[in-house]
Amino acid sequence: MANPKKTNPVKPVVKNAPSIAFAKLKWRFIGVVFASAFLLYANTLQHDYSLDDDIYTKKNSFIQQGFSALPSLFNKGSLVGFNNANESNYRPLVLLNFMISTAIFGNNPHVEHFFNVIFYGLSCVVLLLVLQKMFKKYNPYVSLAITLIFVFHPVHTEVVASIKSRDEILGWLFGVLSFYYLMTYVENMRLTKKLFWSLLFFFASILCKENSLTFILIVPLLLYFFTDLPVKKITSIAAPYGALILIYMAIRTSVLDSITFKDKIIIMNNGLMAAKTTADMLATNFVILGKYIWLLVFPVNLTWDYSYSQVPIVSFSDWKALVSLALYLGMGAYVLLRFKDRNVYVFAILFFLITIFLSSNLLVKIGATMGERFLYVPSLGFCIALVLLLMKGMKVEMESMSWPNRSTVFALLGCILVLYGFKTVDRNKAWKNNYELFTSGLEVSTGSARAHFAVGSECRVKGEAEPDPVKRGDYFKKSVEEYYKGIAIYSEDAEIWYNLGVTYFDMGDTANARKVYAKAIELRPNYNMALNNTGVLYFNMKNYDKALQYFTKIIETDTLFNDAYGNIGAVYHNKGDYSTAAKFYEKALSKNPYNKSTLSNMALVYKALGDTIKANSCLQRAAAIQ
């Protein structure tokens, strides 16, 4: 009898095999993601404050007052505690976060950097969980690969290494938490509590950063591309998120004096304002948008500053503008052609375009030409597209649980992560403090006036603190050189001429100090600090009448400028007019009763007038001031 033909048993198809595989690997993946995020940015933990960190920390009066200022976090703009400007920014949850950490740990930059790294790591873990729900039909290593590319990408250093950028990190953390609970809810519509948490985290996200408003479009896109829900159902689910946007805008409008910046955006803040025509502005705008794509693909020459004129104004005859325009038009065309197919590359493109839109300068001009921080969230679109394209190029069957060329895939992704990792760790070093950041920035931002001015100011600060006269002189010389390099690029900023005057004053070069102060006053006739310092120069020269002209001009336009009253008192004091001097000293003390110098001068004046009782009283008050 013939033996029956042997057949290989058919392996049963396991439903939800990717989800089962992820469940087994979940905690291992989470450990890898969080550990990678922490280790990559561990060298920032010993960094000091830098750049704009003061806005939310030691120079924000709300944060320094502690919980007594808690109501102000919610009924005033986020800049009021820093510069008294109740406009543009409303980020109460970020300020609350800093208030809590400062109340517990004090003004400690190392603690704040630690929290930045922790929150970054947590957001990346949640991102992994969201991606797994998005790509639940794919091998779980796909979600891990996308997450790790995001974790390691060097363009994120500006956000994670800058304390002030906690707003970006928390906005994204709450955003991905919202996405996670949304995707969990649609898996089982009876879990309405999950939808509540999604809405809560969505609202928290926009209370951290205005750019999170774009997530209102990401919500329906997630449902459209990664679920089988009909459009009508997607619309009904997305509706409550829209309602929260309206509530937020109502709160924001009632709290802020202006929802944008009141003052005209200046060229120094946004180089696009230097464009002579709308067409040139748009062309330059597309050059910037092209640079964003370039930084995502080749994150090599990173810098803290892209202001005027690091990105020169160009017309549409410039090839960079044309290439960038063609690239974005191509992406737009692809979206239109493949949207109905629920193509995942369309989602990646839309995610990038939507989340970068508010900071793109296309619709509304913002207070920055461009910035790597603006790529923090949009970079996820690039990470998704990069991983999927690489796997497609290597002909990986992403839904399969076993990849024949698995080692090749991992080797290629590993190479990318190693390159990204080295760059990220190295770039972190630049954010150690202002001096390191600004000087390293000049290696890239050679065309930026602000980059030169920043180095000039930092060198002056270094010089003022340097006890060695030779090194002190070298710092001041370097400061002057950098100021003039910046002025060669942009000379219409009164503040820069004033700062240059301060450097000359520190150097003892009063002649040049007077000249540059005069330039600052020419650009801004009521520039009080420049007027005051010029008056001080003439006072030191014993030209009291000339000094009096400058001090008097200040109080004609600003009765709150306390130093001017004290200085006018000093002029009359030195001229022997003690009665008039006493009047101005009294005015100065009425505005600031704790000015030790003014109290000491008052004591001398009263002594000269023969009023020993008042003289002794002033001396006692001065002695009581620490």
Q: According to the 3-state scheme, what is the secondary structure of 76-119?
A: CCCCHHHHCCCECCCCHHHHHHHHHHHHHHCCCHHHHHHHHHHH
Q: What region, left, alpha or beta, does residue 106 occupy, with left being phi > 0 and alpha being psi -120 to 50 degrees? A: left
Q: Which token pair is 33?
A: 């993601």
| Higher pLDDT pick, 261 / 564 | 564
| Domains in the chain: boundaries | 17-428, 555-626
pLDDT at position 14: 44
pLDDT at position 117: 98
| 211 close to 358: Cβ distance less than 8 angstroms | yes
For residue 258, give the 3-state DSSP assignment: strand
Q: Quote the CA–CA distance of 236 and 239 in Å, as a whole number.
A: 5
Window from 24-28, 544-548, 583-587 with minimum mean pLDDT: 24-28
Residue 342 makes CB contacts below 8 A (sequence gap 6+) with 224, 225
Mean model confidence pLDDT for the chain: 92
User: Where does the pLDDT of residue 13 fall: very low under 50, low under 70, confident under 90, or very high at 90 and above?
Assistant: very low
* pLDDT over 60 at 588, yes or no: yes
* pLDDT over 70 at 201, yes or no: yes
| 185 close to 192: Cβ distance less than 8 angstroms | yes
pLDDT at position 263: 58
* pLDDT over 50 at 465, yes or no: yes
Average pLDDT on 19-44 reads 90
Residue 2, φ and ψ in degrees, nearest 5: -70, 140
pLDDT at position 262: 53
pLDDT tens, residue by residue, 131-145: 999 999 898 999 999
Residue 203 makes CB contacts below 8 A (sequence gap 6+) with 244, 247, 248
**Among 14, 41, 38, 25, which Cα is nearest to 142's?**
25
Residue 430 makes CB contacts below 8 A (sequence gap 6+) with 304, 436, 437, 440, 441
**Among 329, 323, 365, which Cα is nearest to 349's?**
329
* pLDDT over 90 at 266, yes or no: no
Average pLDDT on 528-552 reads 95
Share of the chain above pLDDT 70, in %: 96
* pLDDT over 80 at 232, yes or no: yes
| 135 close to 143: Cβ distance less than 8 angstroms | yes
Average pLDDT on 522-529 reads 95
Residue 324 makes CB contacts below 8 A (sequence gap 6+) with 286, 287, 289, 290, 293
Give 463: exposed, middle or buried? Use CB within 10 Å, 0-12, 13-18, 19+. buried
Average pLDDT on 14-26 reads 70
User: Where does the pLDDT of residue 1 fall: very low under 50, low under 70, confident under 90, or very high at 90 and above?
Assistant: very low
pLDDT tens, residue by residue, 407-441: 888 899 999 999 999 999 999 999 999 999 999 99
Fold of 555-626: 1.25.40
| 266 close to 496: Cβ distance less than 8 angstroms | no
Average pLDDT on 191-219 reads 96
Average pLDDT on 39-63 reads 95
pLDDT tens, residue by residue, 92-139: 999 999 999 999 999 999 999 999 999 999 999 999 999 999 999 898
User: Where does the pLDDT of residue 11 fall: very low under 50, low under 70, confident under 90, or very high at 90 and above?
Assistant: very low
Share of the chain above pLDDT 90, in %: 83
| Higher pLDDT pick, 90 / 7 | 90
pLDDT at position 594: 85
